[in-house]
């Protein structure tokens, strides 16, 4: 049940980011659901590997380089899912990664609070 909720929250987060970040487009809820799965798979495989091998650079930049990796993963997912999920360039992907992480954090904390209450 928790996996399904996280998937839905990720899709909702993608839709919100597409309304907030210029150059970041998700065409509908079905596209957001598919994009959430693809982004999750990319982050679990290629993203994990890239974060592992760039760990020294991440430490030197105090974690900022992880945002670069996350932006690249979003751009890669965008190339796989065109035309339903499109990111036009690095900067929309970079800002989209930051906003996406913040929105996911807020939504997941809200659902945790609802579970407790």
Residuewise pLDDT in 10s, the chain (117 residues) = 889 999 999 999 999 999 999 999 999 999 999 999 999 999 999 999 999 999 999 999 999 999 999 999 999 999 999 999 999 999 999 999 999 999 999 999 998 887 776
Q: What are the distances in angstroms from CA 106 to CA 37, 44, 101, 117?
A: 20, 21, 9, 17
**Alpha carbons 45 and 24: distance in angstroms, whole number:** 23
pTM, whole model, 2 decimals?
Answer: 0.92
- Helical axes 64-81 vs 90-116, angle rounded to 10°: 100
Query: How far is the C-alpha of 76 from the C-alpha of 69, rounded, in Å?
Result: 10
């Amino acid at each position: 049940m928790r996996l399904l909720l996280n998937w839905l929250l990720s899709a909702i987060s993608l839709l919100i980011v597409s309304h907030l970040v210029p150059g970041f487009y998700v065409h509908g809820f079905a596209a957001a659901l598919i994009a959430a799965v693809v982004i999750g798979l990319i982050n679990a495989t290629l993203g994990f590997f890239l974060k592992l091998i760039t760990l020294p650079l991440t430490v030197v930049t105090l974690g900022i380089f992880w945002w670069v990796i996350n932006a690249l993963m979003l751009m890669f997912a965008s190339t796989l899912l065109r035309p339903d999920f499109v990111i036009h360039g690095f900067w929309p992907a970079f800002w989209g990664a930051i906003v996406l992480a913040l929105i996911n954090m807020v939504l997941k904390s809200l659902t945790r609070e609802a579970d407790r209450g």
